[in-house]
């Protein structure tokens, strides 16, 4: 791998609005609004001779305006189904949209989406159906764009040519079951997406998330021959040495959370009150956002399942937690067969990481 020249923290003006980006060869790392804090995220814009390609689409309108003033955008590649990564696809109706094999089901069917993200488990079938109905009646532009756009499926682990550049989508389950990490071997860039190195720590709070797979996928990134590691939030672009150091501390948060949960159970904290022990979120956050309470509940479920899998005597506590929070047990696990990949017109013949 040859390290490409790096032009960092450039600014462009469109309509008086600054767009911040880092450029490595023909690839621009576009920082989302509010420094890519949720509900925004970072995107990669790949510049070709006659066209561009976009990786993820949640930067916000400043960057969308910037993208529209470049060469024609022909393809958008989504790393996974989370709304902060897809919110702008309706801005580019002329582009072909691609998604990973696991997530087409979720973006084309809101019932699959709510099963995967945990609303079926937490709200029950009636509550989840009501959530879907309200979003449909409100004409939610992001969900409408996602369900109505013609969406193709890209393959994992095979080299694709996008805007004239070689890209490989590496399957990295854990954050979600289908998460793909775009890798540009000719430029030493790995987009690690939501392995984001944040002080909050890893996020695996959907039903289709998996703690141990998250750890495996994160460690797998260290095996990739890359110099530049790009996160979707917070850190942005970091060089390899810094990434290796920060990844260790980032993953250590998982065990800290689990020990905090164990300690709370040992102190006699009830299944009803354990959601206020701040395993994931601060207490005051729950009051501001019911969805974060949902994430707290699912995160605790994930850790209890992991403790039981590893031989811990937590089965009774787990079942009591389910009963106390009125969770639907059959929806605490999610598994859907991946959609077959569509033929990519610019798939290369060689395969090499």
Report pLDDT for 138: 82
Pairwise pLDDT comparison (12 vs 155), residue with the higher score? 155
353 contact partners, CB below 8 Å, separation of at least 6 = 157, 168, 170, 183, 185, 224, 225
Q: If pLDDT is split at 50, 70 and 90, which confidence band does 348 have? A: low
Q: List the Cα angle 80/255/177 in 5-degree steps.
A: 20
Domains of the chain, first to last: 6-248 (3.60.15.10), 253-331 (no CATH)
Report pLDDT for 136: 85
pLDDT digits (tens, 9 = 90+) for 74-126: 999 999 999 999 999 999 999 999 999 999 999 999 999 999 999 999 999 99
Whether 352 has a pLDDT exceeding 60, the answer reads: no
Q: Which two tokens stand for residue 213?
A: 């797979």
Report pLDDT for 291: 84
Q: Is 162 helix (H, G, I), strand (E, B) or coil?
A: strand
Whether 16 has a pLDDT exceeding 50, the answer reads: no
Rg (CA), the chain: 20
Pairwise pLDDT comparison (10 vs 149), residue with the higher score? 149
Prior bond to 39 cis, omega within 30?
yes
Whether 350 has a pLDDT exceeding 50, the answer reads: no
Q: If pLDDT is split at 50, 70 and 90, which confidence band does 147 have? A: confident
Helix (H) or strand (E) holding 63: helix 61-68
Q: If pLDDT is split at 50, 70 and 90, which confidence band does 289 have? A: confident
CA distances from 323 to 78, 93, 122, 158, 263 (A): 37, 45, 11, 45, 21
């Amino acid at each position: 791998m040859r390290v490409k020249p790096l032009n960092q923290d450039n600014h462009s003006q469109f309509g008086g609005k600054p767009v911040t980006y880092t450029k490595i060869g023909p690839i621009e790392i576009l920082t989302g609004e509010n420094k890519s804090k949720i509900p925004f995220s970072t995107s990669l814009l790949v510049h070709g001779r006659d066209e561009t390609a976009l990786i993820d689409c949640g930067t916000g309108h400043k960057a969308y305006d910037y993208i529209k003033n470049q060469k024609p955008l022909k393809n958008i590649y989504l790393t996974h189904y989370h709304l902060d990564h897809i919110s702008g696809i309706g801005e580019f109706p002329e582009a072909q949209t691609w998604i990973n094999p696991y997530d087409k089901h979720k973006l084309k069917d809101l019932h699959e989406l709510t099963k995967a993200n945990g609303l079926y488990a937490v709200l029950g079938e009636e509550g989840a159906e009501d959530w879907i109905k309200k979003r449909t009646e409100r004409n939610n532009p992001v969900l409408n764009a996602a369900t109505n756009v013609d969406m193709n499926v890209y393959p994992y682990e095979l080299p694709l040519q996008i805007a004239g550049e070689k890209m490989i989508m590496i399957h990295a389950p854990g954050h979600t079951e289908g998460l793909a990490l775009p890798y540009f071997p000719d430029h030493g860039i790995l987009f690690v997406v939501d392995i984001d190195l944040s002080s909050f720590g890893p996020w695996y709070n959907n039903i289709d998330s998996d703690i141990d797979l998250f750890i495996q996928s994160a460690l797998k990134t260290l095996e990739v021959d890359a110099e530049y590691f790009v996160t979707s939030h917070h850190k942005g672009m970091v060089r390899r040495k810094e990434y290796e150091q920060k990844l260790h501390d980032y993953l250590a948060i998982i065990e800290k959370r689990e020990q905090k949960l164990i300690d709370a159970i040992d102190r006699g904290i009830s299944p009803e009150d354990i959601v206020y022990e701040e395993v994931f979120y601060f207490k005051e956050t729950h009051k501001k956002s019911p969805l974060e309470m949902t994430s707290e509940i699912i995160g605790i479920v994930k850790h209890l399942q992991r403790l039981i899998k590893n031989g811990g005597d937590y089965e009774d506590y787990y079942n009591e937690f389910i009963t106390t929070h009125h969770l639907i047990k059959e929806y605490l696990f999610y598994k859907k067969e991946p959609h077959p990949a569509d033929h990519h017109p610019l798939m290369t013949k060689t395969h090499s990481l």
